[in-house]
Amino acid sequence: MIIRLNTDMAAGAIGLAFAAVLWLGRGDIGRLSILFPRAILVILFVLSLLLFVKGFFRPGGRSIVISGSPWRLLVLILLLLVWWFAIGKLGFMVSSFLIMFFITWFLARVEGPVSWKRLLLWIPIIAVMVGGFYAIFTQVLNVRLPSGLLF
């Protein structure tokens, strides 16, 4: 998918927004602690402004290209964020099994419809993957993974 966008102006605007958020959120930090961030904030502001102005007169690019399906991209972003949220609620094992199963099915659909037989075959494969990593991290590496309703 091609989106018409002046990339210089977009990058300049992001730099300015980032600088503004930190500048407004600096509070009453003491002189020693603000010395360096303030210098970088000023440099970021100047560079972003230069890029923004350059975008008006001599833009580096007028479009961005998202290769592949933007729909799949957005769904995967959403699923990753849901995964993060679900780990805290359902625990690592349950949430990872569910989300991994869903991502596998969602991505496999690129090649065509997924049969029930394949879906059933994936259950033990994904369970072994999740269980295996869970066992390695908890038993071998001594990492306490988040637990939830069942595990």
Phi first, then psi, for residue 69 (nearest 5°) are -95, 115
140 binds another protein (CB under 8 A): yes
Residue 81: CB partners within 8 Å, gap ≥ 6? none
Residue with tokens 């002189």: 31
Q: Does 90 bind another protein (CB under 8 A)?
A: no
Q: Is 120 in the site for another protein (CB under 8 A)?
A: no
Closest separation between CB of residue 142 and another protein, Å? 7
d(CA 86, CA 133): 18
Q: Please state the separation of Cα 106 from the chain's center in Å.
A: 18
Instruction: Show contacts with another protein in window 5-34 (CB under 8 A).
Output: 5, 7-8, 10-12, 14-15, 18, 22, 25-26, 29-34
- Indicate whether 100 belongs to the interface with another protein (CB under 8 A): yes
Q: Smaller CB distance to another protein: residue 61 or 124?
A: 61
